[in-house]
Amino acid sequence: MAGITPLVALLTRDPVLDIEVPGYVDRDGPCPRFVPLARTFYLRRRNDFVRCDVPPYEDYLTFSSVDRPERPATLEEDEEFATTSYAQLFLDEDRPDFTVTRIRSVLREGEHPSDTVVRCVEFEFENALALFADPGHFFGIRLQGRGAYDRWLAFAQAPDRPFGPLREVVWTPEA
């Protein structure tokens, strides 16, 4: 489980309240619209956020704890930074918070342990709700629900092994 130990440490401290995606408000049309930026998403907790990113020109995820969502450097100075909630898409129960009850991830091993990266991840909340994050999508991180992880894994383990050698790691709280 070494490759996801920092992620587990981040996500087992506090429950998740929301899933937020950063973007900007486009006011050029007849009515303002939110335009998401798909290279980052945040898991909001009571006192902070877990930031999930895909580095530029890469296909793996990084995770960090931040105080609040951060304005992307790619935004123009005159663009209005905003976030939107994706909770209704993935956390569809009427609850104030959601405990992470399982993390499934696929790791790509590096030459050294510090080179190992998280190729994709699925967070399970309350033993029922799922959020899958695939950073290999052309436009950024693709967020999907239940079943997406298994489809991704079946594709990745095909005979031609499109992503090279991978290792699956599953974390669940100790009983």
Give tens-digit pLDDT for 3-62: 688 888 888 889 999 999 999 999 988 999 999 999 999 999 999 999 999 998 899 999
Instruction: Look up the domain containing 47 and give its range.
Output: 2-171
Burial of 95 (0-12, 13-18, 19+ CB in 10 A): middle
Summarize the confidence of residues 82-96 as an average pLDDT: 90
Residue 137, CA distances (Å) to 4, 9, 24, 43, 95 in order: 21, 26, 21, 20, 30
pLDDT at 165 over 80: no
Number of domains in the chain: 1
Summarize the confidence of residues 64-84 as an average pLDDT: 93
Structure tokens at 169: 């790691």
Q: Which of 102, 122, 116 is nearest to 167 (CA)?
A: 116
Query: Phi and psi for 172 in degrees, rounded to 5?
Result: -135, 150
Confidence of residue 163 (pLDDT cuts 50, 70, 90): low
What pTM value is reported for the model? 0.91
How far apart CA 163 and CA 167 sit, in angstroms, is 11
Q: How far is CA 123 from the centre of its chain?
A: 8
